[in-house]
Amino acid sequence: MKLNLKIWRQKNASTKGKIQDYKIANVDPDMSFLEMMDVLNEEMVEKGEEPVEFDHDCREGICGSCNLQINGKPHGPDTGVSTCQLHMRKFKDGDTIVIEPFRAKAFPVIKDLIVDRSALDRIQQAGGYISVNTSGTTQDANAIPIPKEDADAAFYSATCIQCGACVAACKNASAMLFTAARVSQFALLPQGQVEATNRVLAMVEQMDKEGFGACTNTGACEIECPKGISLENIARLNREYLKASVT
């Protein structure tokens, strides 16, 4: 396939960026999107041009680093996959593809397509943990019986990879789906109850401090989430927040 690429180039957070045009030929439909970007960068290096910076790590849908806005959609046109799992067979010969960084006030551009998503780390650090004494006398987790339905629901909430696609998809750049998934994974388990009140209040406070917008229930986040984190998590977050606010 031959493709026309329109890629956002930006030197750093304090300079203005712009879209630049590139052409690439011999793209194999079985290549991943990131492999296509690798080929483009190799060609640019050979020509003495500066390659396009983009974030990636695991390249198997686990780490959440590969956050590209492709033709206006976080992680591109496929569903239930992150950018590293997107394949070029989703595009046609001659297509024009617009590639931009995730857009949100709380995600400043570091360079080209890389944004700073440490705001999500700070929400997690505000309360997304349980305090356990790990001195050697810790009770085995399996000694606490947990209904299978609750364990499964907690597991699905915990599959959030912190990619930020929910933020990029939201017209308000809200981080509610992310925060809700992280609160839910603890709210559903007995181990999470001890710090439940402080956790939800602290995580929501941090979310607001970071400059993310409010949730207006449009549901774009759920549609674009590569892990299918459902809006039920947001409903649970709201219940947990209300409960914590009156205790």
> Which tokens is 127 given?
């309360």
In terms of Cβ atoms closer than 10 Å to its own Cβ (0-12, 13-18, 19+), residue 75 is: buried
* Residue 166 near residue 178, CB atoms below 8 Å: yes
Q: How far apart are CA 223 and CA 229, in angstroms?
A: 9
Interface positions with ligand FES (CB under 6 A): 56-59, 61-66, 82-84, 161
End-to-end, the C-alpha distance of the chain in Å comes to: 60
Q: Which is nearer to ligand FES, 56 or 111 (CB)?
A: 56
Does the footprint of ligand SF4 cover residue 117 (CB under 6 A)? no
List the 96-101 sheet strands across, edge first.
18-24, 3-9, 96-101, 68-70, 73-74
129 vs 132, beta carbon nearer ligand SF4: 129
Distance separating alpha carbons of residues 190 and 2, to the nearest angstrom: 54
Instruction: Specify the 3-state DSSP secondary structure of 157.
Output: helix
User: Among 40, 114, 177, 188, which residue sits at the site for ligand SF4 (rule: CB under 6 A)?
Assistant: 177
162 makes contact, choosing from ligand FES, ligand SF4, none, with CB < 5 to 8 Å by partner type, with ligand SF4
Judged by beta carbon distances under 5 to 8 A according to partner kind, the member of ligand FES, ligand SF4, none in contact with residue 63 is ligand FES
- Residues facing residue 20 across a β-bridge: 7
Q: Which span sits near ligand SF4 by CB under 6 A: 9-17, 21-29, 133-141, 173-181?
A: 173-181
For tokens 């931009």, what's the residue?
100
Instruction: Select the binding partner of residue 177 from ligand FES, ligand SF4, none (C-beta < 5 to 8 A, by kind).
Output: ligand SF4
Q: Which does 65 bind (CB under 5 to 8 A by kind): ligand FES, ligand SF4, none?
A: ligand FES
Q: Does residue number 181 form part of the binding site for ligand SF4 (CB under 6 A)?
A: yes
Q: Which two tokens stand for residue 200?
A: 């939800």
- Per rule CB under 6 A, is residue 68 in the interface with ligand SF4? no
Interacting residue ranges for ligand SF4, rule: CB under 6 A: 160-166, 177-178, 181, 225-227, 229
